Amino acid sequence: CHGSTFDVAGRVFKNKPAPDNLEVPPHMYLSDTVLLIGEDKKA
């Protein structure tokens, strides 16, 4: 672990070693309670 911390949106906090924010994978909402990760409507 390199000690970086991120907010709930995946953004790295200032003055931490991570060079970038966390990536958001392709996803789509199938319903109000179901989230499909790994695909999107463009595919």
Report angle CA 24, 36, 3 to the nearest 5 degrees. 35
Nearest of 27, 30, 29 to residue 40 by alpha carbon = 27
pLDDT score recorded for residue 10: 93
What's the predicted TM-score (pTM) here? 0.58
Give residue-wise pLDDT tens across range 7-35: 999 999 998 999 999 998 999 999 999 99
Residues 7 and 38: their CA atoms lie apart, in Å, by 22
What is the separation of C-alpha 9 from the centre of its chain, rounded to a whole number of angstroms?
A: 7
Q: Which amino acid is at 42?
A: K
